[in-house]
Amino acid sequence: MLDLFFCFIMNHNLLIFLALFFVLFYEAINGFHDTANSVSTLIYTRAMSARIAVIMSGVFNFLGVLFGGLTVAYAIVHLLPNDLVFNTTSTDSLYMIFSILLAAIIWNLLTWYFCLPASSSHALIGAIIGVGLTHAMIVHASLLYAFNLPKIISVVISLILSPIIGLIIAGSLIFLLRYYLNNNTRFYRIHMTPLEREKIDGKTKPPFLIKIALILSSIGVSYAHGANDGQKGIGLIMLVLIGIAPSTFLVDLHADKNDIIATKNALENLEKYYFQKKINTLSTQYHQKKLNQLIIKNIISTKLLLKNILDYNMLNVKQRFQLRHVLLIIANTIDQTKNSSEITDLKDQYFLIKNQKIILKTIEYAPTWIILIIALSLSIGTMIGWKRIVITIGEKIGKKRMTYAQAMSAQITTSVSIGIASYTGIPVSTTHILSSSVAGTMLIDGNGIQLNTIKHIGLAWLLTLPVSILLSGLLYWVTLSVI
């Protein structure tokens, strides 16, 4: 890692250190801003003390980052077009990252200070959009050049829909628990609040099996949060490193011979598949025919580039640029093929997904040291500053305290939703899913919700994207003007 800084002058090194520091600071803020999502229900149901709950959450956030993969990380990286990242100077790339992070940090700290469960993901994505738009306006480029529009649309849709889905699923779970366990002689206590449990049974802790269920579902939320939000930090650091030292980080220079051979084999398999598809495509299907021709052309050029290559260090900088660029084009074309109406066979879908993962393995990667420092930053952040948001989720969403069933339903919904999103590469908001899940359980149970709190959360939700877009754009413009 340290040899990265030997190639640059002192001022540039300072900017690199600042950019990396801000990524880690953002991840730490993300930790304590979102810790409430996994510990508030445990604390308010008295299933675990606050200190132990927060430590446990930090540990499982750490593990989530370590084992969560990189799908979401590169969803963040690809929000900005590769041409935008590669065609700017390393200093401009640093200014972009600096503006994105500072805008997200400012908004996260403001919402944390006012005890609002706002979305770190919304803030980050809005900041990326803001920088992309501002850069396009400065260089008088098309707004389509500002960001990866299909990726942005899919991410924004997921951020909008995920809280609604969370509310519906959590509410449905409560309905089922009411239907099946309301009159159950053994598990009727699941619908008690901690205060009712203390008043009726004279005990402050939830029943043993309910306590275990609450702890396990909380662990699920912590792990899923680490897997999803931790990857965002990994993606940001990779964006920094690709921008400032592309020759070192464009491709995985430590990829072993077997990975490179696997990439070549995948290209061979894809070439045969698309060549056969080209022959079978009707002449009237002009768009599909052109798509097949394009991917075959790119596959052939990539095969020539990798001919006799068993170590990426054998490629010069220009060739590394070309390799990354063409492999990403091939992967995007595979996405278009998978989503077309022609591909209905599950075997074809599996074939395309499998080979797409193989060709992306050596360009969508992260060194171990990056994963470790992000995991550490998120877990440390998780263990501090958690109380403000916990109070909002635990006391101010519903008119009454949460029952054990409500807490468990909200946590199960959140952990499963985020787990699926992490696996599919969709960056979602842990905060919004859990908050809406809690609200859904309160509505179905007839407890009612505190409209004032919901209004404030909704206002933060609506303002996060536009504010972070304006803030990052302004910061980027000022930075370019002043420095």
Structure tokens that stand for 416 in this block: 């499963």
Same domain, 183 and 232: yes
Same domain, 343 and 428: no
36-44 helix and 10-34 helix, angle to the nearest 10 degrees: 30
368-382 helix and 10-34 helix, angle to the nearest 10 degrees: 50
- Domain's final residue, options 360, 380, 402: 360
pLDDT value for 283: 45
10-34 helix and 208-244 helix, angle to the nearest 10 degrees: 160
- Domain's final residue, options 326, 360, 394: 360
**Residue 11 — φ and ψ, nearest 5°?**
-60, -40
Q: Is 340 part of a structural domain of the chain?
A: yes
- Domain's final residue, options 360, 388, 413: 360
Q: CB within 8 A of 415, min separation 6: which ones?
A: 217, 220, 221, 223, 224
137 vs 93: CA distance, rounded Å: 16
Domain that holds residue 113: 8-247+368-482
Same domain, 296 and 148: no
Same domain, 241 and 261: no
336 vs 465: CA distance, rounded Å: 28
Q: CB within 8 A of 201, min separation 6: which ones?
A: 189
* Nearest residue to 221 (alpha-carbon basis) of 449, 80, 364, 54: 54
Q: Which amino acid is it at 423?
A: Y
Burial class (CB in 10 A: 0-12, 13-18, 19+), 181: middle
228 vs 60: CA distance, rounded Å: 12
- Say if residues 221 and 37 touch (Cβ distance below 8 Å): yes
* Nearest residue to 430 (alpha-carbon basis) of 235, 231, 222, 219: 222
336 vs 245: CA distance, rounded Å: 31
pLDDT value for 85: 62
CA atoms within 13 A on the CB side of 213: 16
**Residue 398 — φ and ψ, nearest 5°?**
-95, 160
**Residue 314 — φ and ψ, nearest 5°?**
-75, -15
* Nearest residue to 396 (alpha-carbon basis) of 121, 55, 44: 44
* Nearest residue to 87 (alpha-carbon basis) of 413, 275, 321, 401: 321
- Helices and strands per DSSP (H, E), number in the chain: 20, 0
Q: Is 81 part of a structural domain of the chain?
A: yes
Output the CA angle 78-80-85, nearest 5 degrees: 105
461 vs 233: CA distance, rounded Å: 21
Same domain, 82 and 161: yes
Same domain, 139 and 282: no
404 vs 47: CA distance, rounded Å: 9
- Say if residues 51 and 131 touch (Cβ distance below 8 Å): no
Same domain, 409 and 335: no
* Nearest residue to 20 (alpha-carbon basis) of 34, 4, 32: 4
Same domain, 237 and 264: no
Number of domains in the chain: 2
Same domain, 104 and 216: yes
pLDDT value for 388: 60
Q: Alpha carbon 358 to chain centroid distance?
A: 21
Structure tokens that stand for 118 in this block: 């706002």
Q: CB within 8 A of 212, min separation 6: which ones?
A: none
268 vs 316: CA distance, rounded Å: 23
Same domain, 43 and 123: yes
Structure tokens that stand for 215 in this block: 């702890």
Q: Is 3 part of a structural domain of the chain?
A: no
Q: Is 120 part of a structural domain of the chain?
A: yes
DSSP state, 281?
Answer: S
Regions in the chain scoring below 70 on pLDDT: 1-13, 15, 33-37, 81-90, 115-117, 143-147, 278-288, 340-344, 385-400, 446-448, 450, 453, 483
58 vs 38: CA distance, rounded Å: 10
Same domain, 238 and 373: yes
Same domain, 200 and 74: yes
Q: Is 1 part of a structural domain of the chain?
A: no
Each residue of 13-23: pLDDT tens digit? 676 777 788 88
Q: Is 40 part of a structural domain of the chain?
A: yes
Q: What is the DSSP string of 179-235?
A: HHHTT-TTTGGGG--HHHHHHHHS-SSPPHHHHHHHHHHHHHHHHHHHHHHHHHHHH
Sign of the CA dihedral with 469 first, then 474, 476, and 477 last: positive
Q: Is 2 part of a structural domain of the chain?
A: no
